[in-house]
Amino acid sequence: MEESSAKVARGLSCPACRKDVEPDDAFCNNCGYPRKGSEQERRVFLLKRKTKNKKLDAANKGIRQATNTLFIVGGLNILFSWGVYAWGLAGRYQGDRPRLISDQILGVIFVALGFWYIKRPLAAILAGASWYLLLQIFYLITSPGAFLSIIVYRLFVMGYLIVGLRSVIKADRLKKELNT
């Protein structure tokens, strides 16, 4: 296997995407790099591609944060509901088994959505955000006091999920444009 930069130097690989090219091609078949274009055209193409790669990195970061948010919300739900239940058992208030079970299920759903993301990013984050929003409306109606007590946390979670959703769509478009 030849070193990829050596192949680029000899005109066997595309300088933009590093895929193999035929010596006579005017454009790279993979990314459209203007191999026979003027120096200006080639430089502009490489710059644009670099910018797109940076945007893709940013989008991937947004997606990672949204996925982590699903895991954190799920994990906190599971841990916190056990804590509240144990506190109830210790006699400080009535231990509430149905509430424990429903909170555990909620937590597991969020963790499962986090894992589902690996297979279907858009569907998983979309489902996570809608599911979270529905739960918030339910909490707001049934216990507004408890809802408002951690409103900042709720807003952060919703914010990360919305950014994640937009990032998945952006990353998809950029990957198509970059042909990677």
Residues in the site for Zn ion, rule: CB under 5 A? 14, 16-17, 28, 30-31, 33
Minimum distance, C-beta of residue 67 to Zn ion, in the bound complex (Å): 30
* For Zn ion, the closer CB: 14 or 125: 14
Name the burial class of residue 77, with classes exposed (0-12), middle (13-18) and buried (19+) by CB atoms within 10 angstroms of its CB.
buried
Minimum distance, C-beta of residue 110 to Zn ion, in the bound complex (Å): 40
Identity of the residue numbered 127: A
* For Zn ion, the closer CB: 29 or 136: 29
Cβ-count burial 84-116 (b if 16+ within 10 Å, e if not): bbeebeeeeeeeeeeebeebeebbebbbebbeb
* For Zn ion, the closer CB: 50 or 97: 50
Minimum distance, C-beta of residue 170 to Zn ion, in the bound complex (Å): 22
* For Zn ion, the closer CB: 30 or 104: 30
* For Zn ion, the closer CB: 10 or 97: 10
CA atoms 153, 154, 156, 161: torsion sign: positive
Minimum distance, C-beta of residue 17 to Zn ion, in the bound complex (Å): 3
The whole-angstrom separation of Cα 54 and Cα 163 is 17
Give the C-alpha distances (Å, rounded to integers) separating 79 from 9, 31, 156: 57, 48, 19
Minimum distance, C-beta of residue 15 to Zn ion, in the bound complex (Å): 8
